[in-house]
């Protein structure tokens, strides 16, 4: 964390902006590199003594849930429609990890998956063996896929699966597993249904890649026995304390169920039905589990004040658009309160054990629109062409100055409204060391322009990191008219002199 704070202060010392922005503000807006916000809960007790003694703690799982179960389905297949329905009919959820996705795939397939309660994830643009491509290409395969899928579908994506699985590190590897892990973190991808403790194989901390025990039912010829064996193994590993990210398993991997039998999806449905509607299971998609897990780890609860028989707690939690899921947080209070009051006087129901779920604030939603504005030739950041089509009147340009080692950002607001809580993640390829530079601006008034130069930090010396094109995404999240919006302001640059 130390290094990030340093680079932020550095970045902010270069801020050219008429308003006032303070470096120490950044800590209020991000936690572990993820945008966060605060909310208050008021708990009413039988006596002032009870209020004074009250303690509120987080629950590792939603109330009453012992095991999280998800599923993973890879590649841009049209059979996903059948998978989606089969899962939904049995109360299961899943994440579909896609490569190519044009407008018609988005309309015909993705919209249906979402209607059935599922989500989408990242699986690279061209489906390469990631260890067989150069670092810049590897990064673009991941980040380019995310920018494309999010903007075409207007959906956030926070999880990832490896094409062909994770390769072995050998002398011939063009990128290592650890470099791929760093690229995923930089791209804002927080986990995925890979294999138990995948983070370790990527040289990351457990919470940097939230991955379940993954099991199969035989994709092309679904078998109950195989499914049951996998499920049991997952339960056993979790019971033995082997999972570093909590009780989480996921079924996968391909929508190939009709390959051997025409009724393959029915066969899979019958198998899923054996583990349907179980009250102790949390049927979730991978974004939801990851969102819950990261909030369980990183959300902060502080007792703010006690007034008579009331105690007020402040909860700082991750903004939903960071994790691509709006998920309630489970907590437990002791002693047992008489009442739990949420914002606007809304009452939350507390069970006999003092457990209750805290929803996100109503304003904390996923973006309705996600746009991309590309600067493919690294032209000036204030170029007239760098306009948003989904947010009329908004211009965002990003340009790399390699000599000064900064990203020039120009944001012009002619939307007729004030844009607030503008925050950015600068997603850099591996040529730059350290963590993703972050920035935050409280508001950009109508008819005003914000210009920033953000320092990009230390550079790798090896020429490996200069080959091919460097793809950078300045991911901007903001509120316009009280609605969450996202624009990926991308820039592509080739270091011709080095090649």
State which residue has the least CB distance to Zn ion.
74
Give the shortest CB-252-to-Zn ion separation in angstroms.
10
Round to the nearest angstrom and report the end-to-end CA distance of the chain.
Answer: 34
CA angle, 413 as apex, 411 and 414 as ends, to 5°?
A: 145
Return the number of the residue (132 or 233) whose C-beta is nearest Zn ion: 132
State the Cα–Cα distance between residues 309 and 338, nearest whole angstrom: 10
Give the shortest CB-496-to-Zn ion separation in angstroms.
33
State the Cα–Cα distance between residues 10 and 356, nearest whole angstrom: 42
Return the number of the residue (74 or 288) whose C-beta is nearest Zn ion: 74
Return the number of the residue (117 or 128) whose C-beta is nearest Zn ion: 128
Contacts of 445 (CB under 8 A, 6+ apart): 413, 418
State the Cα–Cα distance between residues 211 and 194, nearest whole angstrom: 6
Half-sphere exposure of 178 (CA within 13 A, CB side): 4
Give the shortest CB-123-to-Zn ion separation in angstroms.
6
Give the shortest CB-163-to-Zn ion separation in angstroms.
5
CA dihedral 35, 36, 37, 41 (to 10 degrees): 160
Q: What residue spans of 160-300 are helical by DSSP H?
A: 177-186, 198-201, 224-239, 264-273, 286-298
Return the number of the residue (75 or 285) whose C-beta is nearest Zn ion: 75
State the Cα–Cα distance between residues 458 and 438, nearest whole angstrom: 15
Return the number of the residue (74 or 371) whose C-beta is nearest Zn ion: 74
Give the shortest CB-106-to-Zn ion separation in angstroms.
19
Give the shortest CB-20-to-Zn ion separation in angstroms.
48
Q: Determine the 3-state secondary structure of 107 from DSSP.
A: helix
State the Cα–Cα distance between residues 324 and 366, nearest whole angstrom: 7
Return the number of the residue (133 or 327) whose C-beta is nearest Zn ion: 133
Give the shortest CB-75-to-Zn ion separation in angstroms.
4
- Identify any residues that bridge with 181 across adjacent strands, giving them in sequence order: none
Residues near Zn ion (CB under 5 A) are 74-75, 163
Half-sphere exposure of 297 (CA within 13 A, CB side): 16
Return the number of the residue (75 or 288) whose C-beta is nearest Zn ion: 75
Give the shortest CB-134-to-Zn ion separation in angstroms.
21
Q: Check if the beta carbon of residue 359 is closer than 8 Å to that of residue 77.
A: no
Contacts of 175 (CB under 8 A, 6+ apart): 130, 131, 133, 134, 135, 138, 183
Contacts of 248 (CB under 8 A, 6+ apart): 67, 68, 70, 210, 212, 213, 238, 289, 293
Return the number of the residue (113 or 456) whose C-beta is nearest Zn ion: 113
* Burial class, 283, CB count within 10 angstroms (exposed 0-12 / middle 13-18 / buried 19+): buried
Q: At what angle do helices 135-153 and 177-186 cross, to 10 degrees?
A: 30
Return the number of the residue (163 or 167) whose C-beta is nearest Zn ion: 163
Return the number of the residue (98 or 411) whose C-beta is nearest Zn ion: 98
Give the shortest CB-110-to-Zn ion separation in angstroms.
17
Give the shortest CB-127-to-Zn ion separation in angstroms.
6
């Amino acid at each position: 964390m130390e290094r990030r704070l340093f680079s932020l202060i550095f970045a902010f010392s270069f801020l050219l902006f008429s308003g006032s922005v303070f470096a120490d503000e950044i800590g209020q807006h991000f936690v572990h590199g993820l945008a966060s916000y605060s909310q208050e809960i008021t708990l009413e007790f039988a006596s002032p003594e009870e209020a004074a003694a009250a303690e509120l703690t987080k629950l590792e799982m939603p109330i009453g849930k012992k095991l999280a179960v998800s599923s993973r389905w890879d590649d841009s297949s049209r059979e996903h429609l059948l998978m989606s329905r089969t899962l939904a009919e049995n109360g299961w959820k899943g994440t579909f990890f896609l490569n190519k996705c044009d407008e018609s795939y988005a309309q015909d397939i993705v919209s249906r998956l979402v209607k059935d309660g599922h989500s989408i994830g990242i699986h690279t643009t061209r489906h390469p063996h990631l260890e067989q491509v150069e670092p810049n290409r590897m990064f673009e395969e991941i980040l380019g896929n995310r920018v494309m899928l999010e903007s075409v579908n207007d959906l956030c994506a926070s999880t990832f699966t490896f094409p062909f699985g994770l390769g072995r590190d050998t002398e011939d590897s063009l990128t290592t597993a650890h470099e791929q892990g760093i690229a995923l973190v930089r791209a804002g991808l927080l986990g995925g249904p890979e294999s138990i403790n995948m983070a370790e194989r990527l040289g990351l901390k457990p919470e940097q890649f939230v991955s379940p025990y993954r099991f199969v039912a035989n994709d092309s010829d679904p078998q109950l026995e195989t499914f049951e064996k996998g499920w049991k193994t997952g339960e056993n590993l979790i019971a033995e304390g082997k999972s570093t990210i909590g009780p989480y398993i996921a079924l996968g991997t391909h929508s190939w169920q009709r390959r051997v039998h025409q009724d393959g999806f029915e066969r899979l449905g019958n198998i899923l039905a054996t583990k349907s509607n179980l009250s102790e299971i949390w049927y979730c998609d991978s974004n939801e589990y990851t969102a819950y897990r990261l909030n369980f780890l990183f959300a902060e609860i502080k007792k703010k004040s006690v007034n008579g028989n009331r105690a007020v707690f402040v909860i700082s939690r991750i903004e939903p658009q960071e994790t691509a899921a709006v998920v309630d947080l489970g907590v437990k209070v002791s002693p047992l309160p008489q009442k739990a009051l949420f914002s606007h006087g809304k009452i939350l129901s507390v069970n006999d054990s003092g457990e209750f779920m805290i929803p996100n604030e109503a304003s904390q939603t996923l973006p309705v629109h996600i746009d991309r504005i590309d600067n493919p030739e690294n032209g000036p950041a204030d170029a007239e062409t760098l306009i948003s089509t989904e947010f009329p009147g908004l211009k965002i340009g990003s340009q790399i100055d390699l000599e000064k080692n900064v990203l020039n950002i120009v944001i012009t607001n002619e939307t007729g409204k004030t844009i607030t809580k503008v925050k950015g993640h600068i997603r850099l390829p591996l040529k730059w060391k350290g963590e993703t530079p972050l920035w935050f601006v409280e508001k950009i008034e109508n008819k005003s322009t914000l210009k920033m130069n953000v320092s990009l930090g230390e550079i790798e010396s090896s020429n490996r990191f200069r080959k091919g094109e460097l793809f950078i995404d300045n991911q901007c999240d903001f509120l316009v008219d009280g609605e969450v919006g996202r624009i990926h302001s991308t820039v592509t640059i080739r270091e011709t002199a080095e090649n």
